[in-house]
Amino acid sequence: MAGFQETKVVGRYLGAYIREGRGSIRKYKHILDKVKCKLKGQKQKSLSMAGRTVLSQSAIGPLANFAMTHSRVPKYICKSIEKSQRQFIWGSNENERKIHMVSWETMCKPKEAGGLALKNLERMNTAFIAKLCWEIVNNSESLWVRVLCNKYKVDIHARSWAVGLGSSSLWKAMSQVWNFIEGGTMHRDGNGESTMFWKDFWLNIDGNQHHCLAGRDHGERYGFLRWVMEPKRVTEGSPE
């Protein structure tokens, strides 16, 4: 009556796929195709190596960054994009292959360390996902955070986030990255609701203010009574 037609192919909305499914490489292949098309259309031989480096970075950034902010891009896509970028920088093409004089790992280092400050796409994707995890902790009242927490029964103060069979690819990626974040996160002790004195490693950084290094499982080395009776020794981390 309303004129709407039923379809199983939902497609993308604002650049993101609405429906989860198999074939994740195929879903992101359009990014790789756009990168190749953009680099192929440039006059490679008329540019210096510095010009090709800047151009390759500016061509890839807007295309890949948006997808990485809301999903885990497959490694194959990241490696293929970096391969196209390397070939463009060193002047390779379909008919001629140039020698790459410097490793890609070195080129991705900061300029102060002898690199060209190019982006490692897998690490950059991890950084974008980590930003989402950080938003969950710091903006727990926002709508999208409440939706995720209710859907997956998440305790934002937990040391790990559970992943079920029906979890989305984004949630799986966030759970993996969250374990990485917890391994090096320090938080200031407040009212004690999220404090785990059985597992948290207590530090004394500025005066008498206690801090906790989350994610460090020290078992029962520091029991509750000792935590109360000998706060200084426990804070400094001396075993016995």
* pLDDT tens by residue, 125-135: 998 998 888 88
- pTM over the 0.75 mark: no
Ranges of the chain whose pLDDT falls below 50: 207-210, 213-240
Question: From CA 59, how far away is CA 69, in angstroms rounded?
Answer: 17
Q: Supply the pLDDT for residue 183.
A: 66
- Taking the CA atoms of residue 63, residue 69, residue 74 and residue 78 in that order, the dihedral angle to the nearest 10 degrees is 40
Q: Supply the pLDDT for residue 19.
A: 61
Q: Which helix (H) or strand (E) holds 33?
A: helix 24-40
